[in-house]
Structure 1
Amino acid sequence: MKTTFLCIALLTVIISCNSYQPTVSNNSATSTIASDTLRIANDSLEYEIIIIEPGFNSWLVTQPPRGFYSQSTLELRNNFSVREYNLRVNNPLRYSPDLYMWRIDYDPKVNYGYEVNYLLYNYFLFFEKRYGQKLR
């Protein structure tokens, strides 16, 4: 009888712990998403980069400033990182599809400009550090 009572009490505690979900107001969630979303678009080249990663913007300010690397250096590094990233997207049995969800369409023949290459390069650094991945 004691064992049955203890099992029921333990089960009740476990269920009650799982049923608690803190509420978050929509205003704070929306402002967090808006502040952690980075969008760069150029209609003449028909490209768009959207980075939605919590903490990326605050991490970016701790990195070397724009102009620290040359555009050709950033393009070279991005080309290798995009190639490896896309290989992992195409191999969901080996690499987590939760980390590698979408392909990145990066054409090394297109001049995306310094800003895009700088942000993409830093995103890959952020991604590697945050998720413990090595793309190089």
Structure 2
Amino acid sequence: MKNILYIFLLALFVYSCGSTGGKRFPSDRIANAENDTVRIANDSLEYEIIIIEPGFDLFINTYAKPRGYYSQNYLENKNQFLVTEYNQRVRQPMVYNPNLYLNEINYDPNIDYGYEVNYLLYNYFVYFSHQYNQRFSVPTRI
């Protein structure tokens, strides 16, 4: 089951690379970051998140709140709601762009994915919402 999460996230991020949308970040700096790949692994729990998205590395290093700013509990709560809303959008391809919302994310709130995985997942949602001008019911902030 945990491998499904990795495969989905990898597929989502690879597919997202070709998508276009309203960009709110400096386009000249994002254009130079086309080969961004962020990999964080929690080897003790065997969970990892791989994000392949142009500009995401720049976003994490420049615009995102630093590690430790949010508590793990805060990130887990936000991710639970964001993943739920994201999955609802995946199930409604006639309402939401199916090129942005490809596959459901298998995120189990009862599993401790660790701080880094939750931090990156939350910040991917922040990046995704700003990069593609998507609004979630749970606010995502820079």
Deviation at 1:98, TM superposition (A): 0.6
Q: 2-side partners of 1:42 and 1:60: how far apart?
A: 18
**Rounded Cα–Cα distance in structure 2 between residues aligned with 1:117 and 1:39:** 13
Aligned-partner Cα distance in 1 for 2:121–2:43: 18
Q: 2:80 touches 2:109 (CA, 8 Å); kept in 1?
A: yes
Q: What are the within-5 Å matches in structure 2 for residues 1-136 of structure 1? A: 32-33=34-35, 36-42=36-42, 45-61=45-61, 62-136=63-137
Do 2:42 and 2:48's aligned partners in 1 also have CA atoms closer than 8 Å? yes
Gaps of 5+ in 1: 1-30
Q: Matches of 2:45 and 2:90 in 1, distance apart?
A: 25
- State the 1:39 CA deviation: 2.4
Q: Distance in 2 between matches of 1:117 and 1:76?
A: 10
Take 1:42 and 1:132, find their aligned partners in 2: how far apart are those partners?
31
Check whether the contact 2:75–2:118 (CA below 8 A) recurs between aligned residues: yes
Displacement of 1:47: 3.2
Deviations, residues 81-134 of structure 1 (Å, cap 9, x unaligned): 000001111111111111011211110000000001111111000000011101
Change (3 A) 1:55 1:128: same
Q: Which runs of 4+ in 1 moved over 4 A?
A: none
Q: Which has the higher helix share?
A: 1
Q: Which has the higher contact order (CA 8 A, sep 6+)?
A: 2
Any stretches of 5+ residues in structure 2 without a counterpart?
1-32, 138-142
| TM-score of the aligned structures, taking structure 1 as reference length | 0.70
Paired amino acid for 1:49: I
SS in 2 for 1:112: coil
Letter in 1 for 2:107: Y
Q: Distance in 1 between matches of 2:79 and 2:124?
A: 10
Instruction: Give 1 or 2 for the bigger CA radius of gyration.
Output: 1
Root mean square deviation, CA, Å: 1.7
